[in-house]
Amino acid sequence: MKNICIDLGGTNIKAGIIENDQLLYACNGPSMSDQSFLKVMNSIEKMIDEMMKKTNSMPSEYGGIGLCMPGIIDVDNNKVLAINAKHEEASSFNFNAWAQDKYHLPIVMENDARTALVGEWQHGEGRGVNDIVMMTLGTGIGGAAMINGKLLHGKHYQAGCLGGHFTINVHGDQCNCGNIGCVESQSASWRLKELIAKAKEGHTLLNGPQEIDFKVLFDLVREGNQIAKEVIDNILKVWSAGIVNMIHAYDPDVVIVSGGIMNSKDIILPFMKEWVAKYAWTAHHSVDIKASTHTENTALWGINYLVNDKYFKKINDSVQ
């Protein structure tokens, strides 16, 4: 079955037509998070129009629409329950009516970290494994958990998604999630300047000639800069403690870490693996820590699988 797959992010919208594990056509657009959500949806409609035109197809040829986005998603009723400020009008948008009215198609929605996990499970670093934890290191820190081949959702669709907001320092800093000392508040890119300022001699980095982001910081570590190393080591501890908590919570065989930051996996992965081997409780097994290697369209593959699973039960037997 051929599906229309949309990955609505904070900065970009990715869209693709997927049929029988083939990405037939893909396109990108800005997510226009400064504009009304109706305009965002108009932009998605234009991308769908373009894809249909270029592939010379009509809505009736499709099985369904899959849409993933950040936030807490009611996957039974296709409602956005909570989302950050960028797309807050999405909470009152009727996605079922939109898909039915515009295309006469069913729609499947899911949180984007969960679809990334499903994409990795089907086509990436999670192939052949049914117990997976995903940690997404971006502006914020997200997560998802799969147990025995099933995504964990929980009563209010929050389970698995809030790994970035596990407390890892009860004496730590306020997060914009409301919690204190959670993984995100102690390590996310939006906290980076403050975290550097707190480090011993951190001001020498901040007062230097260049803007400091994670890429610059990791490059400084590779050059042997001790202040950058102190800042990064503290952040690696926080991420690793977050992974230990995800392992203790969900008992996976593999933890997949994704995000542009993983371009520095040469530094990140050895630290995480050593920390987990040392501190995680695993009675008679070990947990593998991997970097996501198929980040570009992972979420599209994931949402495509979920559309097929919900409406067409096209389940890949090899992983059952």
User: Residue 272 in contact with residue 308, Cβ under 8 Å?
Assistant: no
User: Residue 295 in contact with residue 109, Cβ under 8 Å?
Assistant: no
CA distance linking residue 44 with residue 38, whole number of Å: 10
Q: Quick check: 313 binds a copy of itself (CB under 8 A)? A: no
Indicate the residue among 205 and 254 with the shorter CB distance to a copy of itself: 254
Q: Quick check: 250 binds a copy of itself (CB under 8 A)? A: yes
Tokens of 148: 């025995």
Among 64, 66, 140, 252, contact with a copy of itself (rule: CB under 8 A): 252
In the range 12-51, which residues lie near a copy of itself by CB under 8 A? none
User: Residue 105 in contact with residue 65, Cβ under 8 Å?
Assistant: yes
Among 37, 95, 121, 166, contact with a copy of itself (rule: CB under 8 A): 166
Q: Which stretch binds a copy of itself (CB under 8 A): 48-56, 93-101, 239-247, 258-266?
A: 239-247
Amino acid identity at 37: F
Indicate the residue among 119 and 163 with the shorter CB distance to a copy of itself: 163
Q: Quick check: 105 binds a copy of itself (CB under 8 A)? A: no
Taking residues 111 to 130 in sequence order and writing x for each that binds a copy of itself by CB under 8 A, - otherwise, the string is: -------------------x
Q: Quick check: 147 binds a copy of itself (CB under 8 A)? A: yes
User: Residue 83 in contact with residue 70, Cβ under 8 Å?
Assistant: yes
Q: Minimum Å distance from CB 203 to a copy of itself?
A: 22
CA distance linking residue 231 with residue 252, whole number of Å: 29
Q: Which residues of 208-217 are buried (b: 16+ CB within 10 A; e: fewer)?
A: eeeebebeeb
CA distance linking residue 23 with residue 56, whole number of Å: 15
User: Residue 3 in contact with residue 18, Cβ under 8 Å?
Assistant: yes
Q: Quick check: 283 binds a copy of itself (CB under 8 A)? A: yes
Q: Minimum Å distance from CB 40 to a copy of itself?
A: 21
Beta bridge pairs of residue 276: none
Which residues contribute to the site for a copy of itself (CB under 8 A)?
72, 81-82, 130-131, 147-148, 152-160, 162-163, 165-171, 177-181, 186, 237-238, 241, 244-245, 248-253, 278-285
